[in-house]
Amino acid sequence: MTIVIENIPSVSATAGAPAGSTAAAAAATAGPTTRQAQFVLTLSCPEQPGIVRAVTAFLADRGFDIVEHQQFDDHVSGKLYLRTAFTLGSDIHQENGLNHQDVESLSSAFAPIAGEFAMDFTINDGRPQRLLVMVSKFGHCLNDLIFRWQAGSLGAEIAVVVSNHEDLRPMAEAAGLPFIHVPVTSATKPEAEARLLELVAEYNADLVVLARYMQVLSNDLCESLRGRAINIHHSFLPGFKGAKPYHQAYDRGVKLVGATAHYVTADLDEGPIIEQEVFRVDHSLDADALVTVGRDAETQALARAVKWHCQHRVLLNNTRTVVFR
């Protein structure tokens, strides 16, 4: 049994987005809203009867209201994956030693059930997750993340932008974000990666987002960031890896262009896939046009992956993921 205490973000409009603005409109059209959950329980365990009943009874007996529940029974692995969002009800049932506002207290109370069913679980509270966004010279993904953050539809807070180049400093600083230049060469890469980990700690970053960051991370750094770093790959994996993937796609006459958002691992561009986006194309588009279409795919796939991760909708299933959209 593994217990991990994390936090789930709340989605709120950002100050500075006036009514009638494009950002405000995006927030208003971000999708249907549900009652705000104060906590989210996620778990995986061997499938057997009684799991859902035990979870819902635990919450109901303590006066919690379930506002969202999703589950997936993987018949291949024989495991159950579950996500339950819940909030304090109007009739709280007091229990000796239980603090209904504290995830550690809730986790301790839930631990006997987790032990009975051999669960790996997390209980997350309402603090928005903080992002450290890494970029190089391409700004479309950063620009999109900033827009969604300002519109209140990203589901997280951008804490800082880190880059190995100065090109995107104006974009970050125009949004009021700290921009930190950490140059990288083959000789200085260990020092640069050590500095990155310092910044993760300094800015209390929960998630590192590689928004077209054009440097390969070392195995040690990938291991340090396991499960808390997302990369956007400018290709519909597993095809067209390496340099100029859209030009490779053009040369092959593809009819689909896409992008892949995945967790970072030591195996380059081989991490568990969270989201993929594709657009249909035809012979009339040259390589430059495919790049433009591909950038749209990149921004959409990355934004969804970041939001779902920050809402604790992504559960690892070996080399794959279960995503409760």
* Active-site annotation, residues: 269
CA distance linking residue 259 with residue 301, whole number of Å: 7
The rounded radius of gyration (Å) of the Cα atoms in the chain is: 21
Q: How far apart are CA 18 and CA 280, in angstroms?
A: 36
Q: What is the DSSP letter of 130?
A: E
Q: If you ran DSSP here, which 8-state letter would residue 240 be given?
A: S
Return the amino acid letter for 272. Answer: P
Element (H, E) at 133: strand 130-135
H/E/C letters for each residue in 42-109?
EEEEECCCCHHHHHHHHHHHCCEEEEEEEEEEECCCCEEEEEEEEEECCCCCCCCCCCCCCHHHHHHH
Query: What distances in angstroms separate CA 130 from CA 45, 89, 307, one per listed residue?
Result: 29, 28, 11
- Whether residue 142 contacts residue 25, with contact meaning beta carbons closer than 8 Å, is answered with no
| Spatial separation of the C-alpha atoms in residues 75 and 150, rounded to whole Å | 41
* CA triple 93-61-104, angle to 5 deg: 75
Strands 157-163 and 179-181 come out as parallel
The angle formed by the CA atoms of residues 227, 231 and 236, to the nearest 5 degrees, is 120
DSSP string, 192-237: HHHHHHHHHHHTT-SEEEESS--SPPPHHHHHHTTTSEEEEESSST
For CA atoms 17, 23, 24, 28, give the dihedral sign: negative
